[in-house]
Amino acid sequence: MTKALFLSLASCLLVVNQAKFPVLGRCEVAKLMSQEDLDGYEGYYLSDWLCLAFVESGFNVSKINENADGSFDYGIFQINSHYWCNDYQSHSENLCHVDCEELLDANLLSSINCAKMIVSSGGGMNNWIKWKLHCLGRPLSYWMTGCHL
């Protein structure tokens, strides 16, 4: 196989792979968060938001996880279908007035809007159990290392 053919094949595979499993880069996530004014939102800085997103999804925007109660968690912030979004499968309060599928969009807009609502609802980021376990009270500034926004 020629080198050129190999390279074009390899880049094809890469594109397919990204479309199927879109895991965003840390600084890419930081940039999108910054554009949507998350830095300082409800007293949480970008490093807090990055830690939250990483422990919840590993920056995998298409992550869906089923919970023991039959509800599902969607997207980069693993937003729950019982309270926050409608997945048309089980009862939902749909407090964010959004389809859960939209929370899988790689532009993060719907996820960020809904996350803003969640942190404003009382309890802040303590609404996310993994935040409490892995981010709360820890030094987090290194999450922004090398990100030039």
Ligand X SMILES: *[C@@H]1O[C@H](CO)[C@@H](O)[C@H](O)[C@H]1NC(C)=O
What's the token pair of residue 51?
């830690």
Tell me which amino acid residue 131 is.
Answer: W
Would you call 91 exposed, middle or buried from its count of C-beta atoms within 10 A (0-12, 13-18, 19+)? exposed
User: Which one is catalytic: 37, 39, 42, 73?
Assistant: 73
Binding site for ligand X (CB under 6 A): 21, 23, 60, 62-64
| Active-site residue flag, 56 | yes
| Active-site residue flag, 73 | yes
Residue 85 Cβ, how far from ligand X at the closest point, in Å?
A: 16
In whole angstroms, give the CA distance from residue 6 to residue 55. 36
CA-nearest of 92, 93, 52 to 75 is 52
Residue with smaller CB distance to ligand X, 64 or 147: 64
Residue with smaller CB distance to ligand X, 48 or 56: 56
User: Which one is catalytic: 36, 48, 56, 87?
Assistant: 56
Which residues are catalytically annotated? 56, 73
